[in-house]
Structure formats: structure tokens, C-alpha cells
Amino acid sequence: MFENLKKAASGIAKSAGIVASACIVVTTLTAGAAGAATVGKGAVRADSSHMSGVTPRIGYCGKPLGTILTSTPTSNTEAWLPTTVYSNYEAGPGTITYSENTTSTTGITLTASFELEESMFFASATETYGVQLTHSSSKSQTWTYALAVPSGETARLQQYHEGWEMGIKQTYVAWTAAKGCYIGVETSLTGNYFPNDSTDSGQYCWALTSSQRPGAYAASACHDSFSKLSAGEQAAARGVVAHDEMGRLKV
């Protein structure tokens, strides 16, 4: 049925002198954009202003309304995600030493206002960028680390796990009384963080974070040796310099 509608729409477009790819109306829903419509998976993805109290019968569009057709990443940036392993806050000057047998855990953080089709998205991320994502990651062992807190600062040791910030694009089956069946699009370009599936020791690092920014994401690098950083990078690791709109450190 969906293919028949596509063919019919194509014939109408051609007779009107209109050239359109697949002749399907596409509505883009962008998370976070002012005034943008956003919907969740499983809901009837349709523009309610055109519904007039009418919905199509089941299978009218070939697939149930809201069915996810594709889920793909649109961008990929290395990020470091804070885990559940961290010390108490200490005032400098001094050294924070952490040693505890515990489970380090981190997971997905999303700003997308729609539900992610994880299996499709993870497979596409591997195919597109060669990365292995997971919904959550955990590892139990004795974690030991120490870093110096500079004079005049109050900070704690925070462990991070390597991950990725990715843009998300999903397409789904939609319908309105005015448009009929069409392929809808929903996107979320920033603020979506995914842990690396690996729990090798090289996937973890430590940094100082201030009490003002305890959960900040290190945008591009997590440093395990504070002394190797420049003055600006040291300030960023302590959380006392500017952060971008997603709360990530500008390192």
C-alpha cells in the first residue's frame, strides 16, 4: 500500500511538473529547536493540526504508524563520560588519593526528545564510523589514582570512560489527513553521549573536577597526568573556565 501511494504521488508530481525524490513529503523534527515539534517512538507520529479526529486503519501505510525505518548517526566526536567512581571533594593545596574496590558504571545520555532505536543506531555507527557502542558499561576492580589539587581550589578526582558524542537522525512512518502517508524525520544533533563497548584499562582516565561542574563531559580529551596540561587546560579540568551549552569542557 505504501509503495502504491508513493507511485500515485509520483504520478501526480510529474503531471504537475514537480520533481521530487520519491515524491514523499518529509517533515523534519529537530530536538532542541525553538518551536520544533518532537515526538516519541510508539506514539502516532502525525501532525495533530491535520488530524481532525481521524486516524487511518491499521496497515494503511504498509507499516504501523511510528515504525522506525532508519536510525543513523550524523556526526561523531570523541568524548569522555564521567563514571560512578570519584573521590570526596578536597581543598588545595594537597593531593587526593583514591583507592577503592568498586564498580565503575556509565551509560547513554541523550538530549533527543524521541526514543532511540538502539539496535539500528548501534549497527549504523559501527558501519559508518567503526565504533562499538553500548547502552551501559561497567567494570569492577580496585581503582587507585592520585592527583594534586592546586592552592585555592576545591576539587575531586573523577574517573571518565571513553565514549562518543553523536548526532542522531531517524526516519519513521507517519500520516496526516492532509498529507496521507509519508516518511517523517526526527533529528538530535548534539548532546547525545554513548559509552565505548570496551572496558580495557585504556578506556578509562582521571581528571580533577570542581564542585561547580561535577558532571562535566571532557569534550575531546581526558588527561591522566595533570602536570602535562597547559595552564588553560588545568583550569578547564578544574571546571573554572567556560563550558559550552552542553556543559562540556572547552579544553
Per-residue pLDDT of the chain (251 residues; tens, 9 = 90+): 444 444 444 443 333 332 232 223 333 333 433 323 333 333 345 433 333 345 676 667 989 999 999 999 999 988 889 899 999 999 999 999 999 999 999 999 999 999 999 999 999 999 999 999 999 999 999 999 998 999 988 988 889 999 999 999 999 999 998 989 999 999 999 999 999 999 998 888 888 887 666 554 554 446 444 444 455 554 544 433 333 333 333 33
Distance from C-alpha of 190 to C-alpha of 169, rounded to nearest angstrom: 11
User: What's the pLDDT score for residue 129?
Assistant: 97
**Cβ atoms within 10 A of the Cβ of 224, count?**
14
SS (H, E, C) 75-129: EEEEEEEEEEEECCCEECCEEEEEEEEEEEEEECECCCCCCCCHHHHHHHHHHHH
* Ordered DSSP codes for 202-231: GGEEEEEEETT-TTPEESS---S-GGGS-H
Distance, in Å, from the CA atom of 5 to the CA atom of 21, rounded to the nearest integer, reads 14
DSSP 57: P
How far apart (Å, rounded) are the C-alpha atoms in residues 184 and 186?
7
Beta-carbon count within 10 A of 50 CB: 12
The b-or-e profile of 5-25 (16+ CB within 10 A means b, else e) is bbeebeeeeeeeeeeeeebbb
Rounded distance between C-alpha atoms, residue 121 and residue 29, angstroms: 18
pLDDT in tens, 55-80: 676 667 989 999 999 999 999 988 88
Answer for the pair 143, 87: CB distance below 8 angstroms, yes or no. Answer: no
pTM: 0.67
User: Hey, is 33 helix, strand or coil?
Assistant: coil
